[in-house]
Every structure is written in C-alpha cells, then in structure tokens.
Amino acid sequence: MQIIRDPDGLNSALAEFEGETVALVPTMGALHAGHMALVEEARRHADRVVATIFVNPKQFGPNEDLARYPKREAEDAAMLEAAGCDLLWMPGVEDIYPPGFATKISVSGVSDRWEGEARPGHFDGVATVVAKLLLETFPDVALFGEKDFQQLAVIRRLVADLNIPTEIVSVATVREEDGLALSSRNAYLSPTERQQATALYRALCDAGDLLRGGRSPEAVLAEGKSALLDAGFSRVDYFALVDGATLEPVTVAESGTRLIGAAVIGGTRLIDNLAI
Ligand code: PAF
C-alpha cells in the first residue's frame, strides 16, 4: 500500500491506476472493524481501493472534540494494508484548505434537522470535504457507513445535485456483540458508560418492534427517550422516526422509514439508527 501525503504524489499514484476502477473510502482515522467493512466492500466494487485519513476541522464545532479526536496513524495504515487497501491519502489541513480557501458547500433540507441542528455547520464541513476528496480522486464508487445515516443522505444529495459521477454505496453498521455500534468515539467511554451505552441500540430495537407491531410512533418515541434517560444517558438530542431519504419526520412507520437517535452519556455523544 502506498502512503501519500502530498497532492502531487496523489496525482502520480492515481495515474498508475489508469484503466482500472477505483473505490474511495474516506475516513477520519482511528479505524475499527466498521471501516474495515467499508474497505472489504470497496474491494468488491472496484479494482483499486483508495482510503483517506483526514480529521476535517470544518466539521467540528467550537466546543467539539477536534483537539482530542483519536489519532493512530501507524495502526490505521497497518489495518488498511492488511484489509487490501492500495493507496492511503493523508493530506494535511493546508492541502485540503490552502490559504485563501473560501468555498463552502451547504446541502439544505436533508442537513437541516437532527445532527444539523445539534451540530451547526457540521454538514457544511462534511459536504465540502467529501466533495473535495471526490473531485481529487474521481472514484467510480465511494463507500460510507450507515452508522452516520444522515451524513449518508447528505452525501447522496450532494453527489446527485453536483452531477459527481461517483456511485455512493452504503455499508451496514458493524456492532459489538452487545449491539453497540462501532465508533471511533466509543474510545471516550468509561467502563460504566460503555455498559450503559448499549441502551441506545436496545431502545431503537424495542421501538422498532413496537412500531412494527402497530403502536403509535408518538408514544413509542416518547418511551424510547425515557428508556435512554433511565439507562443513564444525561441528554437525548433526538429519538425520531424519519423518511430514509429526506430525513423529514414521519408519522407512519413503513418500509423506507428509519429510526434515528442521538444521546449523551458522560461527556460522549452517541448516534445510531435502525431500518424499519
Ligand atoms: O464519516 C467520517 O468519517 C467523516 O465524516 C468523513 C465522511 C470522512 C468526512 O470527513
């Protein structure tokens, strides 16, 4: 696996893949089995797999965890190589945002609620960096995890609206045995919080069962929020039933709708979601 840290190096490395199909796996590092599932799926879709590691400052709010976001470059590179990644692009902040950089991509509508409301500016940062990474590498396909479900919907909208010729492929959330969705931020949880954190997926599954059994979403969602607070979460940002493409709230649970939740435990904010 080649590791590239400068834009010129990236262009010559990509030139070596001419005539082959390329899959892109954008990440912020601190890799886990969820990222490896993206690489594995990428290998099924293209001849070459390019991964990126870039902790994108523009998608972190002023009071968020940019400074303490876990960094494990050597470990990440070894995992990617073992998973069959061909090229790792690790730009610096000035490679992505050189002096004078003034463009911001805002995907309205699908970005507005939920994570967009809780983390103002977050999706502008995601959309801007993802557009930039796609335009730098021009992959045939790019892979994103369903764990960040709203992000996936934002990226699909972005790519469709800007006619970016990359197919967006989603990959199912990888979970611990007890159901907790893998996330780089799980590293922040204390052992007790780690135990309590399983309540998020449990609440989603319980709510899913009740909805499929015909209970009214209003009552089910209220019960889900209470269950999270009872389990030790200090705040529930949202626990909602939404349309899977637009992320607008819906009042009928049917195929294509999604349960989404975000809640804070200790100092850590966790998100998860479930298909109905
Ligand atoms: O999901 C992530 O890791 C990031 O939001 C992404 C897509 C790599 C953009 O920085």
pLDDT the model gives residue 37 = 98
Residue type, 64: E
The residues, any chain, with a CB within 8 Å of residue 265's CB and separated by 6 or more, are 189, 193, 196, 197, 232, 233, 234
Q: State the residue for tokens 């010729």.
A: 165
Whole-angstrom distance, CA of residue 116 vs CA of residue 108? 10
* Sign of torsion over alpha carbons 69, 70, 73, 79: negative
Q: Closest Cα to atom 9, ligand 1: which residue?
A: 126
Q: State the residue for tokens 């309540």.
A: 199
pLDDT the model gives residue 94 = 98
**What is the pTM for the complete model shown?**
0.97
The 3-state secondary structure of 127-167 reads: HHHHHHHHHHHCCCEEEEECCCHHHHHHHHHHHHHCCCCCE
Whole-angstrom distance, CA of residue 267 vs CA of residue 117? 19
Give residue ranges with CB within 6 A of ligand 1: 26-28, 56, 59, 126, 129-130, 148, 151
What are the tens digits of pLDDT across the range 99-110? Answer: 999 999 999 999
Whole-angstrom distance, CA of residue 85 vs CA of residue 53? 13
pLDDT the model gives residue 142 = 99
CA 116 to centroid of ligand 1, rounded, Å: 15
What are the tens digits of pLDDT across the range 227-247? Answer: 999 999 999 999 999 999 999
Mean pLDDT of the chain: 97
What are the tens digits of pLDDT across the range 158-215? Answer: 999 999 999 999 999 999 999 999 999 999 999 999 999 999 999 999 999 999 999 9
CA 68 to centroid of ligand 1, rounded, Å: 16
Q: How far apart are the first and last CA of the chain?
A: 39
pLDDT the model gives residue 265 = 97
Assess contact for 257 and 243: CB atoms under 8 A: yes
Which of 32, 35, 45, 122 is catalytic? The answer is 35
SS3 content of the chain, % helix, strand, coil (to 5): 40, 20, 40
What are the tens digits of pLDDT across the range 114-143? Answer: 999 999 999 999 999 999 999 999 999 999
Assess contact for 276 and 140: CB atoms under 8 A: no
CA 243 to centroid of ligand 1, rounded, Å: 22
- DSSP annotation of 108 reads T
Assess contact for 30 and 70: CB atoms under 8 A: yes
Q: Which of 24, 27, 52 to mutate to test the pocket of ligand 1 (most atoms within 8 A of CB)?
A: 27
What proportion of the chain, given as a percentage, has pLDDT over 90? 100
Across residues 55-63, what is the average pLDDT?
Answer: 96
pLDDT the model gives residue 73 = 96
Nearest residue to 113 (alpha-carbon basis) of 105, 122, 102: 122
Q: How many CB atoms lie within 10 A of CB 11?
A: 12
Whole-angstrom distance, CA of residue 195 vs CA of residue 199? 8
35 in catalytic set? yes
CA 252 to centroid of ligand 1, rounded, Å: 31
